[in-house]
A and B are shown apart, each in its own frame.
Chain A
Amino acid sequence: MLKVKEGEIHKLGLLYERYKKRLFGFFYQMNKNASLSEDLVQNVFIRVLKYKHTFHDKSKFITWIFQIARNEIYDEFKKAKKENHNDLETVSYFLSSDKNIEGDLEENENKINLKKAIAKLSPEKKELIVLSKLKELKYREVGEIVGCTEGAARTKVHRALNDLKQIYLTLENA
Chain B
Amino acid sequence: MDYKEFENSIVDYLSENLSTEKNKEFEGFLKANPEFQKEFNLTKSFWNESLEEVPTPSSKMDMDFYSMLKAEEEKANQVSMITKIQNFFSLKLVKQFAYTLAILTIGFFVGNWFNTSDNLSEEKIEVAQKETQDVRSQLVLTLLDQPSANKRLQAVNEVNKLNKVTKIIIKALFSTLNKDENVNVRLSALEALKKYTEIPLVREGLISSIANQTSPLVQMELADLMVVLQEKKAVKSFEKLIDKEDVNTSAKQKMKESIQSII
Chain B neighbourhood of A132, CB < 8 A: 15, 17
Instruction: Tell whether A38 pairs with B46 under 8 Å between CB atoms, given A9-B72, A133-B15.
Output: no
A133 touches B47 (CB 8 A): yes
Chain A neighbourhood of B54, CB < 8 A: 21, 24-25, 28-29
Interface set of B (CB-CB < 8 Å, partner A)? 8, 11-12, 15-17, 43, 46-47, 49-52, 54-58, 60-62, 64-66, 68-69, 72-73, 76, 80
Chain A neighbourhood of B52, CB < 8 A: 28-29, 32, 115, 118
A14 CB, min distance to chain B CBs, angstroms? 11
Query: Does A95 have its Cβ within 8 Å of any Cβ on chain B?
Result: no
Interface set of A (CB-CB < 8 Å, partner B)? 7, 9-10, 12-13, 16, 20-21, 24-25, 28-29, 32, 34-35, 37-38, 41-42, 45-46, 49, 111, 114-115, 118, 129-130, 132-133, 135, 138-139, 154, 157-158, 161, 164-165, 168
Instruction: Tell whether A165 pairs with B46 under 8 Å between CB atoms, given A38-B57, A41-B57.
Output: yes
A9 touches B73 (CB 8 A): yes
A118 touches B51 (CB 8 A): yes
Chain B neighbourhood of A49, CB < 8 A: 72
B49 touches A138 (CB 8 A): no
A11: nearest chain-B partner, CB-CB:
B69
5 additional contacts (CB under 8 A) given A32-B52, A114-B46, A158-B11: A9-B76, A41-B61, A115-B52, A138-B16, A161-B46
Other-chain contact of B65, A32, A45, A135, A164 (Cβ < 8 Å): A45
Q: List 24 A-B contacts (CB under 8 A).
A: A9-B69, A20-B61, A20-B62, A24-B57, A28-B55, A29-B52, A34-B58, A37-B57, A38-B64, A41-B65, A42-B64, A111-B49, A114-B46, A115-B52, A118-B51, A132-B17, A133-B15, A133-B51, A138-B16, A139-B15, A154-B17, A158-B8, A161-B47, A161-B50
A34 touches B55 (CB 8 A): yes
Q: How many A-B residue pairs have CB under 8 A?
A: 93
A29: nearest chain-B partner, CB-CB:
B51
B51 touches A42 (CB 8 A): no
Q: Which of B43, B47, B65, B68 has the most CB of A within 10 A?
A: B65
Chain A neighbourhood of B15, CB < 8 A: 132-133, 138-139, 157
A153 CB, min distance to chain B CBs, angstroms? 9
Bound Cα distance A7, B54 (Å): 33
A45: nearest chain-B partner, CB-CB:
B65
Chain B neighbourhood of A38, CB < 8 A: 57-58, 60-61, 64
Instruction: Tell whether A168 pairs with B16 under 8 Å between CB atoms, given A9-B76, A24-B54, A129-B51.
Output: no
A42 touches B65 (CB 8 A): yes
A140: nearest chain-B partner, CB-CB:
B17
A25: nearest chain-B partner, CB-CB:
B54
B2 CB, min distance to chain A CBs, angstroms? 17
A139 touches B50 (CB 8 A): no
A46: nearest chain-B partner, CB-CB:
B68
Chain B neighbourhood of A45, CB < 8 A: 65, 68-69
